[in-house]
Structure 1
Amino acid sequence: MSRLTPLMLLCPLALAACGGGGSTVKGENASIDEVAKATKDAVKMQPGQWQTQVKFLSVDMPGLPKAQADMMAQQMGKAAETTVETCVTPEMVDKPPSEMFGGKAGGGCVYDKYELADGKLNAVMTCKPQGAGGEVKATTTGTIGSTAYELTSDTAMSGAPGMPGGKMTMKTQVTGKRVGECTGQAKG
């Protein structure tokens, strides 16, 4: 599970970085690079200090023994809500790295569907990480603007070796807002 978790968290953050507002971007079976290029001219995040909050709303892993399920619930309780602050530079806005869109971190990702219209996002990404086995499918919906976003992601993992019951589902919510000019201090 730990190998795929960073990839799952990158999906909503990457989608938020691509913009919003009045632009319309649509794609099917698109690579990470294709989506990055198509969203390049969409309304972009404003540079500055951004506060991002990630909430783990639910996790379900059928077939997990009770002791492990209790331990996982305890860990999720500790990490149920995380807030970080980052400085988003003009360079980051102009040239978001492909890693922000899920590339290279886990490899093997494709957007089955990507729709961004009038600040509303609806995207489905499927990843088959090389060497990890299995598949990760993340459906992300929400709203995106140049100074704030709110996204919900439903992620399903299946077929990974060593995963009890062979699958896991997780629901996360990611909200972000620009809180001012960069302070030079990263928090979180």
Structure 2
Amino acid sequence: MSRFTPLFLLCPLALAACGGSQPAVKAENASIDQVAKATQDAVKMEPGEWETQIKFVSVDVPGMPKAQADMMGQQMAKMSETTHKTCITAEMVSKPPSEMFGGKAGSGCTYDTYELAGGKLNAVMTCKPQGAGEMKATTTGTINSTSYELTSDTVMSGMPGMPGEGKMTSKTQIIGKRIGDCPAAKG
């Protein structure tokens, strides 16, 4: 699970980097870089301090012993209890790096589909890192320049060290909003 976790958590924030009533973006079988470039002219997040809450709704690992599954659920619930604050700069908004869209060159990730129109997002990303199975994340929700609310359904399969067929499914809700200007840097 650890190889996919950074991608899994970064994708929703990156997907929120655009939205609104500006040009619609639609792509199929597109690379991370292609999606990053295609969304560059869409309405972007307002720079400032953003607060994001990630809530793990469910996780299922067929074949995992109940005690271990319960412990995993507790760990994920604990992670949900935290709220993350991030300073999004004007530069980050104007030139979103491909890493914000779920990976970098050679990460093994592509968008099967990516559609952003009228403040609504529907995206399916598949990642196939070398020797680490496959992850397919379907993300849907609403986005505007000051907030977003997304749901991500993720299926990981062929995961080394996982019980059964090495499969795990999870559902996550991601809610973010701009809460003000970035705090002044401490000198």
Q: State the TM-score bracket (shorter-chain normalisation).
A: over 0.9
Determine what percentage of the aligned residue pairs are the same residue.
Answer: 77
Question: Which sits farther off after the overlay, 160-169 or 99-108?
Answer: 99-108
Question: Is the Cα contact below 8 Å between 1:106 and 1:130 reproduced in 2?
Answer: no
Give the counterpart letter for 1:91 in structure 2.
E
Q: Which runs of 5+ in 2 are unaligned?
A: none
**1:136 and 2:135 are equivalent in the alignment:** yes
Q: Is the CA contact (8 Å cut-off) linking 1:11 and 1:138 kept in structure 2?
A: no
SS in 2 for 1:138: strand
Q: Deviation at 1:23?
A: 2.4
After alignment, is 114-123 or 59-68 more displaced?
Answer: 59-68
CA pair 168-106 structure 1, distance change in 2 beyond 3 A: farther
Structure 1 residue 106: deviation in Å? Answer: 7.9
Range moving further from structure 2, 107-116 or 175-184: 175-184
CA distance in 1, matches of 2:71, 2:3: 18
Whether the 8 Å CA contact 1:142–1:149 is kept in 2: the answer is yes
Look up the match of 2:162. 163
- Normalised by the length of structure 1, the TM-score is 0.92
Deviation of 1:84 (Å): 1.1
The residue correspondences of 1:45-60 to structure 2 (distance < 5 A) are 45-60=45-60
Q: Cα gap change, 1:27/1:105 in structure 2, threshold over 3 Å: closer, same or farther?
A: closer
Matched residues in 2 for 1:128 and 1:10: separation? 17
Q: Which residue of 2 aligns with 1:11?
A: 11
AA at the equivalent of 2:151: T
SS in 1 for 2:43: coil
Equivalent residue of 2:145, what SS? coil
Matched residue SS, 1:69: helix
Tell me which moved more, 175-184 or 40-49: 175-184
Task: Give the Cα separation in 2 of the matches to 1:50 and 1:12.
Answer: 13
Residue 90 of structure 1 corresponds to: 90
Q: CA RMSD in A?
A: 1.5
Task: Tell me how far apart the structure 1 counterparts of residues 156 and 98 of structure 2 sit (CA, whole Å).
Answer: 22
Question: Is the CA contact 1:20–1:117 (under 8 Å) kept in the aligned structure 2?
Answer: yes
Structure 1 residue 80 displacement after superposition: 2.6
2:55 partner letter? K
